[in-house]
Amino acid sequence: MHISEGVLSAPVLIGGAAVCAGGVAIGLRKITHDEIPKVGILTAAFFVASLIHVPLGPSSVHLVLNGLIGLILGWAAFPALLVALFFQAVFFQFGGLTVLGVNTVNMALPGVVFYYLTWPMVRSDNHSLKAVAGVIAGAGAVAGAGVLVALSLFLSNQAFLGPAKAVLIAHIPIMIIEGIITAIAVSFMKKVKPELLGISPKEGG
């Protein structure tokens, strides 16, 4: 879902950079000293996972993990994904520096949105509800990222409507896979290390 240099219009680039700056500022304020290792590990996980591209028809797809990262980090997903996308742009030319703001928003914002939408379910003592929360967050965040990528392309040039639709369709299998992965991860963390989800051990299932 990396948007390359030279594709987006100036207003979209400026708007994305502004939203990204706001999200990163909020995220940095919410990161405590003790949480820095956790943020670093998830940054590295996103960096590696999204480098592995799997061919699918005329395009390719990769794991995104923005739903899982959003559930664990909340607003801190913004600086975490910004750093990962920056190094991907510098070392592997995935995306680019001018589109860094837009790409970060497209990945991080859905994660933050589904963090808030599923948080009550994650805290529930009902194990089935936790799994459902994971599916919703994992699949929903990927779907949200796909919608934002498509919207970024469409707002830049309506001729990109076809490719924008292709992006959404190509990531349907990833939505399913990430929903399952996130559900398993949430259930596991709630039992073993609920603090990773911002839950005290007494609340863990």
- The pLDDT, as a whole number, for residue 44 is 93
pLDDT band of residue 148 (cuts 50, 70, 90) is very high
User: Between these two residues, 86 and 200, which has the higher pLDDT value?
Assistant: 86
pLDDT band of residue 172 (cuts 50, 70, 90) is confident
Q: What is the pLDDT of residues 39-61, one digit of tens each?
A: 999 999 999 887 776 655 545 56
Q: What is the pTM of this model?
A: 0.88
Tokens describing residue 13: 């680039």
Is the pLDDT score of 203 beyond 70? no
Is the pLDDT score of 160 beyond 80? no
pLDDT band of residue 170 (cuts 50, 70, 90) is confident
pLDDT band of residue 202 (cuts 50, 70, 90) is low
Q: Where are the alpha helices (DSSP H) in the chain?
A: 10-30, 36-49, 66-73, 77-92, 100-122, 127-156, 161-170, 172-192
Contact 108, 78 (CB under 8 A): yes
Q: What is the pLDDT of residues 178-192, one digit of tens each?
A: 999 999 998 888 888
Query: What average pLDDT is seen over the chain?
Result: 87
Mean pLDDT of 88-108: 91
Tokens describing residue 11: 């207003």
Tokens describing residue 67: 């739903």
- The pLDDT, as a whole number, for residue 194 is 83
- Give the lowest-confidence range in 49-53, 159-163, 194-198: 49-53
- The pLDDT, as a whole number, for residue 58 is 46
Task: Tell me the one-letter amino acid at 72.
Answer: I
- Structural domains for the chain: 10-197 (1.10.1760.20)
pLDDT band of residue 112 (cuts 50, 70, 90) is very high
